[in-house]
């Protein structure tokens, strides 16, 4: 479904994160839009309202996608992210263990025991939303978000893992922290991760 979500914004529903990113990539490549952002279940297009009406923008997008959505090309390389679990690095792991009735070691084993796909990058530059969390670890966000979560923190919530690229407020359950930098503003390519990348977490000592 294609609909307006602002004076110069259009939202396109998608069946999956991969489809949302594929739609965004396809429209972005046309060079016709001010910005295109892929999300978890939609892609949002920003158009220049001074030069094109919303109705014409909708028709243009529909025409662009009428031939089908090209699947996103994936990089099959696996990015391994080292994580210090528990303690000061993962302040919620102990409470999560009691809540789920699982030993901390079992939680770590479940979290490190599979490969994941990055669904999207957003919220802050480089913040990775990673799908595929084991059903045994599915918990909601914290009722009271923290005012400051350190950069590199690894959180879980609503079936996903999130990696805080920058220090920021946040409501995810923090189970560990990584020294791996997902965002480097001084680099030629500031964003180290992108949607569609394969990642695996590896437990390491401090």
Backbone torsions φ then ψ of 26, nearest 5 degrees: -65, -40
pLDDT in tens, 62-104: 999 988 888 877 767 899 999 999 999 999 999 999 999 999 9
- Domains annotated on the chain, with CATH: 2-65 (3.30.1360.40), 78-203 (2.40.100.10)
Separation in Å, CA 47 to CA 7, 18, 27, 59, 132: 9, 23, 11, 12, 33
Question: In 123-196, where do the E strands start and end?
Answer: 128-131, 146-149, 153-157, 160-163, 168-170, 173-177
Token pair, residue 26, equals 């396809």
pLDDT in tens, 131-175: 999 999 999 999 999 999 999 999 999 999 999 999 999 999 999
CA distance 153 to 156: 10
Read off the pTM: 0.86
């Amino acid at each position: 479904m294609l609909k307006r979500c602002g004076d110069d914004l259009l939202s396109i529903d998608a069946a999956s994160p991969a489809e949302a990113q594929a739609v965004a990539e396809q429209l972005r490549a046309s060079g016709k839009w001010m910005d295109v952002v892929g999300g978890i279940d939609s892609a949002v297009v920003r158009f220049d309202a001074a030069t094109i009406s919303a109705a014409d923008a909708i028709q243009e997008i529909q025409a662009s996608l009428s031939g089908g959505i090209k699947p996103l090309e994936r990089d099959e390389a696996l990015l391994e992210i080292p994580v210090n679990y528990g303690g000061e690095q993962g302040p919620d792991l102990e409470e999560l263990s009691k809540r789920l009735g699982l030993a901390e070691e079992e939680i770590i084993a479940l979290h490190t025991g599979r490969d994941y796909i990055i669904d999207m990058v957003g919220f802050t530059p480089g913040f990775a939303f990673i799908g595929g969390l084991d059903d045994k670890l599915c918990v909601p966000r914290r009722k009271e978000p923290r005012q400051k979560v350190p950069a590199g923190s690894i959180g879980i919530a609503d079936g996903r893992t999130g990696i805080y690229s920058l220090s920021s407020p946040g409501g995810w359950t923090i189970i560990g922290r990584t020294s791996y930098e997902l965002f480097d503003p001084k680099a030629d390519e500031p964003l180290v991760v992108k949607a569609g990348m394969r990642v695996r977490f590896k437990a390491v000592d401090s």
